[in-house]
Chain A
């Protein structure tokens, strides 16, 4: 019969009365272990040899285990120091013995607990007493560490378990394959086997010489696992942002950009947020250590102040709160990207805007909030608004129904709520695409006249916002935003997270 060269080499190296491991065969034949394994399985399929798999345990010392080879186990050191201090004749102060044993930090706890476990003595009310005459050299744990270090195996499973619990050793299992010739294999070898003309790799030579026409190609195990590689991927939160942007552009929205660091005037005052609003007087926002912003646009600034003090329109009434320019000039990291909407509506971003308009952004906002599974100091806010001559609550509902349907969130409910710069205002609730729960998915409303009038807008503007992270957690089922966004991210998550589109 004919066999490919690898298989022939393996067959010839195998024995009928002794199992040989793949490693041994690899050494004899000079073939890589993967090639030997492949050949062995093919020969097994042909009935020429048998492949046996056994599991072999290997034991190795951890860094901590290795360090005790020289220093001795902490409980040994403690015992020796205790005996030296006379603790075998009565209690001695524990601090003194620990100091003499040169133990500190975690090692103290390790020493004390194992000292007690091994019955080397007793610890009571800060005093240590030692059993006289303990033979430390007979401690199987110490002996086992040396045995393992010498590359030999330890038979006592209890000792190994104990060492593993102490994190002094690591145990690994590996599969060892070995082969043995079958009768058929012996018969064929006796009859003589010829090497088949087979090639492994298709080379440029084979192609240009035309030799490829005369060869057979070695069969590969096409089912075998390949070596793992990692391609580049877009960050899951970023791809979610791109998806949201695509939906909004499709709905006719244009993207806004603007400063992350901005005057409170644009972040709060222009949004009719009273200066003594709790969110402004407390530590919810990040103030920056920079000089106050000088160039507030004069006309808008005056009109904003008037809206705060007196309200807008004949029946308007402002807040009964103080208003000072000093606070308006303070520069903060924006607490929401509604500051961009204010800049656009006021005409300082892209010039005066005539209705109709739709604008959006999916950009960072900053909140000085507790960090937990659903809150970070920075998050991406989806912000969108529509400007038109006449807009009703029904238009707002229709727009958001359309938007959320793109993400599988349906059956929207609009819960009336309060927001300083919109009226009416709604919290949006929708049905979770997977769990079916009703969940909060955003905040929306029609901008108040006290906001729009000072910015020079005399038509209707409706707006909404939500955190991109929230939408992503709903859509992907991610449970802890700290695993997704930021430097604590696990590369394994980024590499294996399902690609969404």
Chain B
């Protein structure tokens, strides 16, 4: 889950609530769904929150939410914007990263805290909506360090150019660097470049942004040092590049709202596409602070919350959520045209508006009730069978086990002396995990006895006899299945005793099979895990479904056991 680090003094200042103690703020933020995680090294408070409200990734957004919660603000707020002076021209960009957006923010008075907050917001947006910069990457520049080229035919305005260049096509001094480097050199030899090299590894040419002085940004990897932002910066130029216009436009909205809260004036930027994206015109004006509207039926709100509300109440709750609502139709049967501000990236459907209404109302104010819905409960037949077999095994004195489904081929095969791909139980091809957690958990088990042998191995210091059993899941590769995996449940039991022999296992298996009114036969067979001449096929009602025998000494020694073990394993379904 994302976290946000908040300096409590900043929050008091931005909300205008100097009287709130740190504890008050923590409680108020918990109400908003921000959970206190602890203090950072810099003495800020760290909060964890759910990744839907990405407008709360910085103290400015959190302060805005708190002001709505306190009732200081109501309804939708949209900052005013000035007309564009700057243009971003898109020419011959890399196909992999065609989209760009931008804004200018003027008149800021950044101190260390607000600059840190801006940097944090960029990082958090990169990590979340930006999908680690793959989907959207932000560049913030000191506007005074940019020299715009010509923009319009009439000579008014200024422009920068977003394009693609060869890896060795130009040079610039990257942030945290002190020499001219090509993009290729940055990717190979600059610590930020190395970190993000994977993002552009497949690109034919790399993205580049120019002003009339030259290359100043290499998105999504690193900005140039020339335009680096400091506390001296008053006017900012913000550009974002990415793989989806909607995503970067909304990342931009979140950043612009935060800078608006810091007293900046938002100035629009023209975005001129050479090949305009579908759904968008050739010339965009950004940031796009257009609100969106969702229609929400009154009865749908009442149905979801389980309470009755007056129209005025609903509108009040909407406004307390930072939304606007306009009722249409008669009281009680109405619907609402709900206006949603442009920083909200989480509202995909009217149900999200209903959730906001519920949060503003206070979900914990609702009285629980047991639904008057009649249904008949019951167990799945296979689960009931497994349960009955487990009960029978426990009655026979077996300790029931519950082992992992994931294991290794070493456990399944080598340690069980299963060196061939023969037709014997356990030797079928296991299903492998392509990204295992560790070499101990690389495949799904094909049979249960290896798990039981591991438990015996780990308990040699415990009292004997150790009679262990498991009814559990196994799987193997099978292309006839739609998933490519044949899943089954097996029954296995093992007796580890100083004086145990084959008949002890057979006697118990016989009782178990008799209990389920089936016929057991045990014709001799061969299986590498067992001693030749002391191993048989388990045949239930004439079908070969498992194996029973005395474990091979090599298998026992491999598992550090110093006494004999007899065991059986077969397919649970055959007891149906």
Contacts and interface: CB of A to CB of B under 8 A. Distances in A.
A377 B441 contact: yes
Contacts of A290: 431, 477, 483-485
B378 A257 contact: no
Nearest to B49: A418
Nearest to B350: A315
Nearest to A391: B371
Interface stretch (A105-113, A173-181, A482-490): A482-490
B395 A232 contact: yes
Nearest to A262: B483
B80 interface: no
Nearest to A292: B484
Interface string B445-485: 00000010011001100110111010001010101001111
Nearest to A445: B355
Contacts of A356: 373-375
Contact of B434 (A287, A357, A414): A287
A259 B295 contact: no
Interface in A384-436: 386, 388, 390-395, 397-399, 401-402, 412-418, 423-426
Contacts of B378: 249, 254-255
Interface stretch (A160-168, A212-220, A446-454): A446-454
B229 to A, nearest CB: 28
A263 interface: yes
B371 A260 contact: no
A313 to B, nearest CB: 7
A257 B572 CA distance: 15
Nearest to B353: A315
Interface stretch (A35-43, A72-80, A317-325): A317-325
A235 B484 contact: no
* Most B Cβ at <10 Å: residue of A250, A281, A377: A377
A317 B395 contact: no
Contacts of B303: 390, 392, 460
A455 B190 CA distance: 49
B418 interface: no
B309 interface: no
* Most B Cβ at <10 Å: residue of A295, A485, A494: A494
B433 A287 contact: yes
A438 B383 CA distance: 33
Interface string A230-263: 1111110110001001001111111111011111
Nearest to B452: A487
Interface stretch (A54-62, A125-133, A298-306, A364-372): A364-372
B523 interface: no
B51 A418 contact: yes
Contacts of B487: 259-261
A315 B50 contact: no
Contacts of B367: 394
Interface stretch (B171-179, B201-209, B326-334, B398-406): B398-406
The interface size bin for chain B is 35 or more
Interface in B247-304: 247, 293-295, 303-304
Interface stretch (B149-157, B191-199, B386-394, B538-546): B386-394
Contacts of A317: 348-349
B463 A228 contact: yes
B368 A320 contact: no
Nearest to B303: A390
B379 A333 contact: no
A417 B33 contact: yes
Nearest to A237: B402
B349 A255 contact: no
Interface of A: 228, 230-235, 237-238, 242, 245, 248-257, 259-263, 276, 278, 281, 283, 286-291, 293-295, 311-321, 331, 333, 356-358, 364, 366, 368, 371, 376-378, 386, 388, 390-395, 397-399, 401-402, 412-418, 423-426, 446, 448-450, 460, 485-492, 494-495
13 contacts: A232-B400, A234-B390, A255-B380, A257-B383, A260-B473, A263-B483, A289-B432, A290-B431, A321-B135, A377-B404, A378-B406, A416-B359, A424-B363
Given A260-B485, A417-B50, 18 more contacts: A235-B401, A249-B379, A250-B377, A254-B375, A256-B380, A260-B487, A276-B135, A286-B433, A287-B434, A288-B433, A312-B349, A313-B349, A320-B247, A386-B373, A392-B306, A418-B53, A424-B358, A487-B451
